[in-house]
Amino acid sequence: MITVAATHPEIVERQRRITVGEYHRMIEAGILGEDEHVQLIAGTLVAMTPQGSRHAVVIQRLTAALVRAVGGDLAVRPQLPLTLLEDSEPEPDLAVVRAADAPFDGPHPRSALLVVEVAGDSLRLDRESKATLYARAGIPEYWIVNLAEPAIEAHSEPDRATGVYRSSAVVASGETLVARSVPNLTIDVASLFG
């Protein structure tokens, strides 16, 4: 589907971006439901597609591996919000945060040690917009689990000013990925897709 905004650059230039606070007020007012499949990325509401079975199984397997690896000082957050910058609140497939940053009755964490996106149809969004967002927010490590390859694209050393990760590697099925930001975390990539 082609939208008017996509064919008229002046409309894109005049779009009004929203903040995290405005996004929360939209939820509180019932304009957006809690179960609505949208995320706030760079001031724009982005519709997310439903998960296929492969996507769900990889998240399940990766969640189990992360939970086994992290200690009591860290928390694994599957598909829960991170409040990043003033205009973004993505809901990555997985995030590892300091447990102290995710209190039971507090706000969403404002950072993470590791963020993971499982990408099928969302591969371009995850490689471009979300990679830029996570780098600008200073997330030390960002993985994209590419369902089509199958492989994990591991990014580290974020440059906040440019929104680019300075280090990237593709870890293919049959190889092991060792996390840089989460102690004792290693992933046998084949085990996610087997």
Q: What is the pLDDT of residues 57-96, one digit of tens each?
A: 999 999 999 999 998 899 999 999 999 989 989 999 999 9
Contact predicate 189/174, CB 8 Å = yes
Task: Kindly state whether residue 16 falls inside one of the protein's structural domains.
Answer: no
Nearest 5°: phi and psi at 77? -120, 100
3-state secondary structure (DSSP) of residue 89: strand
Task: Kindly state whether residue 104 falls inside one of the protein's structural domains.
Answer: yes
What CA–CA distance (Å, rounded) separates 11 from 192?
A: 42
| Alpha-helix runs per DSSP H in the chain | 4-7, 9-13, 20-28, 53-69, 123-125, 131-136, 189-193
Task: Kindly state whether residue 136 falls inside one of the protein's structural domains.
Answer: yes
What CA–CA distance (Å, rounded) separates 61 from 150?
A: 14
Q: Is the peptide bond before 150 cis (omega within 30 degrees of 0)?
A: yes
What CA–CA distance (Å, rounded) separates 14 from 16?
A: 6
Task: Kindly state whether residue 1 falls inside one of the protein's structural domains.
Answer: no
Task: Kindly state whether residue 179 falls inside one of the protein's structural domains.
Answer: yes
| Closest listed residue to residue 51, CA positions, set 108, 119, 130 | 119
Higher-confidence position of 2 and 158: 158
Helix or strand holding residue 77 (H, E):
strand 74-78
With a pLDDT cut of 90, the percent of the chain lying above it is 60
pLDDT level of residue 7 (50, 70, 90 thresholds): low
Question: What's the pLDDT score for residue 13?
Answer: 72
Contact predicate 143/117, CB 8 Å = yes
CATH number, position 61: 3.90.1570.10
Task: Kindly state whether residue 29 falls inside one of the protein's structural domains.
Answer: no
Task: Kindly state whether residue 122 falls inside one of the protein's structural domains.
Answer: yes
What CA–CA distance (Å, rounded) separates 137 from 111?
A: 7
Counting every residue written for the chain, the total comes to 194
Average pLDDT over residues 159-181: 96
| Surface-to-core class of residue 162, CB atoms within 10 Å of its CB (0-12 exposed, 13-18 middle, 19+ buried) | exposed
Give how many domains the chain has, as a whole number.
1
Range of the domain at 140: 48-193
3-state secondary structure (DSSP) of residue 194: coil
Q: What is the pLDDT of residues 9-31, one digit of tens each?
A: 676 677 788 899 899 898 889 88
Task: Kindly state whether residue 2 falls inside one of the protein's structural domains.
Answer: no
pLDDT level of residue 174 (50, 70, 90 thresholds): very high
